[in-house]
Amino acid sequence: MRGSSPHRKSHDSNDVSMNTLNRTTNTDEEAQLLGTQGTRISDDILSLHRRRGRRPGLWSLLRGPEPPRVHAIRPMFPTLQNIPPRLLASVKTDKKILLVAALLVWFIIFAASLTSQLPVKDAAGEYVLNLDCVDTLWKRNNECGIDGVNCRPFGNRTFAFRCPAKCSDVRILNPHHVGSTDVNYRSLVIGSGPYRGDSFICGSALHAGIINDAKGGCGRVSLVGRHGSFASSKHHGIDSVAFDSYFPLSFTVASDDSYRCSADPRSSLLFISVIVTVALAIFSATPRIFFPIFIIIFAHVSFVSDPPQASHLNVTVLPDHISMFAKRLLPAIFIALFVYRKIVKRTLSGITAQFEKALFWLGGFWIGALSNYTFDWIPLARLTAHDLQHQPGAKLALAIIIIILVVIIVGQAYAFWLEGRLPRYLRLYGFFITAILVCLAIPGVNLRIHHYILALLLLPGTSLQTRPSLLYQGILLGLFVNGVARWDFDSVLQTSEALRGDALLESSIPVSYWPNISASAEGLVATFQWVPPAKNYDGVSVLVNDVERSRIFSDDEQDWILKRFEWSRPPSLEANEYFRWAFLKNGRTLDYSKAGTLFGNGTWEPESLN
C-alpha cells in the first residue's frame, strides 16, 4: 500500500491494518495488485466520507466509524497460497492461450461424455425411450377420459426405457388419489410389481432394483393390463403405496441385456467440472475469471446435474437441452456482467488468498448450483401456504431458515457499517422492499420470488472482501445459475392459474345421497344421485377406483332429480371399490371429493365432507 493515507484502517477476521498487510507481502506481485486495487476501493470510501462530512444524530451513527475500516482478507499461509499464481507467472506461454486450452480440454471431455445420451436401439431395432423421473403411463384425475380411453393400450405392449439418476428423491407435491387416500410428499410408486399405471416408471424401476439411483439406468416396461391388488413394500429406499382393488392398467419392469445402456454421466462430469473450475480459481488472480467459471457451472447444471425437463418419451434429450441452454445462457450472461461490475469485482479484486477463494467462493458457488443435492433434504419444496400447512417439518424448516438469514443479515450490515457503506445499501434495500410492496398491491397477479430472484436481491449484500461474504456470494451465484438453467426466467408476477398447476382448486364438491344398493344372483347394482348443483355448474364427473366412468350433464331437459349413475359388478368380485365425484364447469373438471367406499360385502361408507 502506498503511503498516501497512513491514517486509514483495514478490518478483517484478524483485524489487521492494510499497512501491516502490505509490509508483509509488498514484494509479491499479487500483494501489489491488492495494494493498488484495495487502495482504490478504500480511497473511494474515504473520499465519499470527506465530501459528505458528518451529520449529527442517527445519520452520523449509520455512517459508521471515522475513518472507515476497509475489509481485506489476510491469507492464511500466504506463501503457500501464492504458489499457484507464481507458477503460472513463471510459464512464458501467453496466459490467454493457457486459459483457452484449459477450457477447450474441458469442453472436449464434457461433450464426449454427453454422447452417452445419443439415441440407442434395442435388439428389436426400436429406439430406447428417455423417461423423466415423473413420467407415468396414466394421467392424473380424469385426463385419461372415460374408461381410460386416452391412455390405451392397457396391455400387450413393451418398450425399452432409460432413466436419469437421482429419481428416488422426486416427490409429488399435490394430493394424488389412490383408493380411499390422497398421497402427497412422497414418491408415487403404487404396488410392488406389477405396479399401478399411474406410478412413476423410473421410481418403480428403482423400487424393483432394475436401475441405480446414482447412475440411472435402463430396462424394459411391459404393460400387463388389469391387475387386482397392489401391495406396499419398501425396497431400495422407496416405500411404495398399497391399493387393495383393481386398476385397468398395470406394468412390470425388468432388466434388458439386449442393448448397451450408458450410465448417467453426472458423477464423472462433476469431477471434471470441479477440477477445472478449482484450477481456474487458484491459478488466476484476476476477478474476470468469474466469467469462464460461470459458464462452466451453467453448462453443468443445464446438461448434467439438474437439466430441464425434455419432451415426453423422446429418444434423446440432447436437442431439448441444447435448445434450452442456448435460450437461457445469453440473458444470464448479461445479468452476470452487471453482477460482476457491481458486486463480484469488488469482492474478488486484489485477493491473494487463492485457496481460500476456491474453498469459500467457488465452493459456495457449487453448493448453490447443486442445490437439488445440497438443499434437497430441507422439507420445504415450495413457499406456499398449503405446503407450510401440510408438508411435515416445513414450518420448523422455515423458522430455522429465517433465523439463519437474520443472523447473516446482521453480520453483513455490521461489516458494511464498518466500511461506511451502510446508508447506501439501506437505500438500495429500501427500494427493493418498496418494489416488492408495489408488486403485492397489483391486482390479479401473485408475487413469486423464485430462487434466482432471491439470489439477485441478496447478492448486493455480499460485496465485501470477507470470508463469510465469499461463501454467501458463491452460494447465491449458484442459486441464480440453478434457478435459471433449470427453470428459466419465470416471471416474478404470475396469475393464480399459472401458479396452481395440478394443485387443488378449492372448489365446491358434489354432495351425494345415500346410494340404493341391490344384490341378486347376477351381481350387485349401486345407484347414486346427488344434491342438485348450482346453475353455474354443468354436471358431475364420477371416478371409480380413480378411473373416470361417467359424466352426467345438466344441460338437457331431464330434471336433475332423475339423473343417476348406476354401477354394477359381478358376484365374483369381492374387492372394495372407491367412488369420487367432481363438478364440471366450462369444460373443466373441478376438485374431486373424498372417497366413498363400496365394500366387497355390499355395504357403503360415504365420503367425508371435511
Per-residue pLDDT tens digits for 53-111: 555 567 778 888 888 999 999 999 999 999 999 999 888 888 899 999 999 999 999 99
Number of H helices, E strands in the chain: 20, 22
Residues 348-393 have pLDDT tens digits of 999 999 999 999 999 999 999 999 999 988 888 777 777 788 888 8
Q: pLDDT per residue over 229-263, tens digit each? A: 999 999 999 999 999 999 999 999 999 988 888 88
Mean pLDDT, the chain, whole residue set: 88
Residue type, 147: D
Check pLDDT > 50 for residue 130: yes
C-alpha cell at 543: 371416478
Residue (of 48, 46, 47, 37) closest to 73 by Cα position? 37
- Any long-range contacts for 4-10 (C-beta under 8 Å, 24+ apart)? 4/39, 4/43, 5/39, 5/42, 5/43, 5/46, 7/67, 8/42, 8/46, 8/67, 8/68, 8/70, 9/67, 9/68, 9/69, 9/70, 10/38, 10/42, 10/69, 10/70, 10/71, 10/72
The C-alpha cell that represents 609 in the structure block: 365432507
For the chain, list the domains and their CATH numbers. 121-254 (2.170.130.20), 516-605 (2.60.40.10)
The pLDDT of residue 154 is 96
Q: Report how far apart, in Å, the C-alpha atoms of 115 and of each of 177, 264, 515, 561, 572 are.
A: 39, 11, 60, 63, 54
Name the helix (H) or strand (E) containing 467. Answer: helix 467-487
Mean pLDDT of 178-190: 95
Per-residue pLDDT, averaged over 544-570, amounts to 89
Q: What is the pLDDT of residue 384?
A: 74
Query: Which pLDDT does position 599 carry in this prediction?
Result: 94
Grid cell digits, residue 141: 384425475
Amino acid at position 501, single letter: G
Q: Sort strands 9-11 and 69-71 into parallel, antiparallel or unpaired.
A: parallel
Amino acid 402: pLDDT: 94
What phi and psi values does residue 219 have, to the nearest 5 degrees? Answer: -175, -165
pLDDT at position 581: 96
Average pLDDT over residues 492-502: 82
Task: Give the pLDDT score at 610.
Answer: 64
Nearest alpha carbon to residue 129 among 321, 313, 319:
313
Q: Is 220 left (phi over 0), alpha (psi -120 to 50) or beta?
A: beta
265 cis-preceded (ω within 30 degrees of 0): no
Instruction: Compute CA distances 588 → 539, 554, 555, 574, 583, whole Å.
Output: 10, 15, 15, 34, 8
For the record, the C-alpha cell of 441 comes out as 398491491
What whole-number distance in Å separates Cα of residue 178 and Cα of residue 200?
A: 14
Q: Residue 54's pLDDT is what? A: 52
- HSE-up of 223 (CA within 13 Å, CB side)? 18
Q: What is the mean pLDDT of residues 394-400?
A: 92
Instruction: Identify the CA nearest to 128 among candidates 256, 38, 282, 299.
Output: 256
Torsion angle (degrees, nearest 10) of CA 326, 331, 333, 337: 170
**532-564: burial string, b at 16+ Cβ within 10 Å, e else:** ebeeebbbbbbbbbbbbbbbbebeeeeeeeebe
In the chain, what percentage of residues exceed pLDDT 90?
Answer: 71
Within 13 Å of residue 134, how many CA atoms lie on the same side as its CB?
A: 12
Q: Model confidence over 323-349: pLDDT tens digits?
A: 999 999 999 999 999 999 999 999 999
Residue 134 has pLDDT above 80, yes or no: yes
Strands 181-183 and 238-239: unpaired
Q: With a cut of 70, say whether residue 603 has pLDDT above it.
A: yes
What's the CA gap between 174 and 171, in Å, rounded? 9
Which are the contacts of 334, defined by CB distance < 8 A and separation ≥ 6? none
Q: What is the pLDDT of residues 435-455, one digit of tens each?
A: 999 999 999 898 888 989 999
> Which whole number is the average pLDDT over 144-149?
96
When pLDDT is averaged across residues 164-176 and rounded to a whole number, the result is: 92
* Entry pTM: 0.86
pLDDT confidence tier of residue 592, bands split at 50, 70 and 90: very high
Q: Residue 11: what pLDDT?
A: 42
How does pLDDT run across 17-61, given as a tens digit for each residue?
333 333 333 334 333 333 444 444 555 554 545 444 555 567 778
Compute the distance between CA of residue 542 and CA of residue 531 in angstroms, rounded to an integer.
14
When pLDDT is cut at 50, 70 and 90, the band that residue 494 belongs to is: confident
Residue-by-residue DSSP string for 44-75: HHHHHHHHH---STHHHHHT-SSS-EEE-PPP
pLDDT of 307 > 90? The answer is yes
Sign of the C-alpha dihedral, residues 511, 576, 236, 212?
negative
